[in-house]
A = this chain, B = another copy of it.
């Protein structure tokens, strides 16, 4: 007897992803599922994005981590509402977990919900959470070969944020060819939007924040 458990799990996840999509669509909220390796700077990007968009877009965050609420504490320090999800070992968030978190967020007062997934460049790309789009973050410290080596998430994402570009200023300290990363990412995904940024210095954030403002506006119409 062959039992196709893999398919069953995905179907349950898809059911909840559809529920989440409906909640977000009815309330006209824009939702982004942020995926990257551990330590690429997702939380720092979110903190700066929230601060730079204060008074323009109201942002809430769902924080996914295996353990700890370190990231939720960091987000709440910016004044934005945040809900922590701990997966206790699981390598990605599920739509069921996100469904519970959406109920805890003050959705009516928000324009944009970021889901910060578990730090993992592989598994989260296979699980829809009900988001409008996926965003992949790659830091220059990780190397420019990552789109070629981990293609799935680059193929599925609407936006690629190339973070920590401040590390490129010191000659010879970090080898990262931005053009190679862009070319490889676009080979997988012709329409991917690419923003080189530094969450530490704020470089590149104007373009990224303008993209968010437009995306949120489109969602409301």
Task: Determine whether the beta carbon of B65 is less than 8 Å from that of A149.
Answer: yes
Would you call the interface of chain A mostly helix, strand, loop, or mixed? loop
**Distance between Cα atoms of A146 and B65 in the complex (Å):** 11
Given A37-B37, A39-B142, A120-B91 contact (CB < 8 Å): yes
Given A37-B37, A166-B173, A119-B119 contact (CB < 8 Å): no
Interface size, chain A (Cβ < 8 Å) = 36
Copies of this chain in its oligomeric complex = 2
**Distance between Cα atoms of A5 and B9 in the complex (Å):** 12
Q: Pull 29 A–B residue pairs with CB atoms less than 8 Å apart, ordered by A.
A: A3-B3, A37-B39, A37-B121, A37-B142, A38-B121, A38-B146, A39-B141, A65-B149, A66-B149, A66-B150, A66-B151, A66-B152, A67-B149, A67-B151, A68-B145, A68-B148, A70-B145, A70-B148, A89-B122, A89-B152, A91-B120, A119-B149, A120-B120, A120-B123, A141-B167, A167-B167, A167-B173, A167-B174, A170-B170
List the interface of chain A (C-beta within 8 A of B).
3, 5, 37-40, 65-68, 70, 89, 91, 118-123, 139, 141-143, 145-146, 148-152, 164, 166-167, 170, 173-174
